[in-house]
């Protein structure tokens, strides 16, 4: 497993804060970015907990679903 970095933990925290502000569940956000299936919400959980680093295309979909600028997530 990758070691958590300070920047990845901030990314996870920013995604979680934006999701909560948008009043979305982890599952609803996962569906909004195209993840389906019974464990779709687990992906968002792993990203927020910094156990999964999303690639740039996924970050772009997260930003769009959360209605925030991509730069505000990755700053």
Q: 56 in a domain, yes or no?
A: yes
Domain coverage including residue 68? 6-74
Q: 1 in a domain, yes or no?
A: no
CA-to-CA dists, residue 6 to 11, 16, 17, 54, 71, angstroms: 9, 15, 16, 15, 17
Count of domains for the chain: 1
Read off the CATH number of the domain in which 36 is found: 1.10.260.40
Q: 51 in a domain, yes or no?
A: yes
For residue range 52-70, list pLDDT tens digits in order: 999 999 999 999 999 999 9
Q: Is the pLDDT of residue 73 over 80?
A: yes
Candidates 27, 31, 26, 15; CA nearest to 68 is: 15
Q: 59 in a domain, yes or no?
A: yes
Write down the pLDDT at residue 37.
85
For residue range 4-21, list pLDDT tens digits in order: 566 668 999 999 999 999
């Amino acid at each position: 497993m990758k070691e958590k970095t300070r920047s990845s933990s901030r990314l996870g925290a920013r995604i979680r804060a934006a999701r909560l502000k948008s009043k979305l569940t982890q599952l609803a956000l996962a569906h909004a970015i195209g993840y389906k299936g019974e464990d779709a919400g687990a992906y968002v959980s792993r990203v927020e907990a910094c156990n999964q680093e999303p690639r740039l295309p996924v970050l772009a979909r997260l930003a769009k679903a959360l209605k925030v600028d991509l730069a505000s997530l990755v700053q």
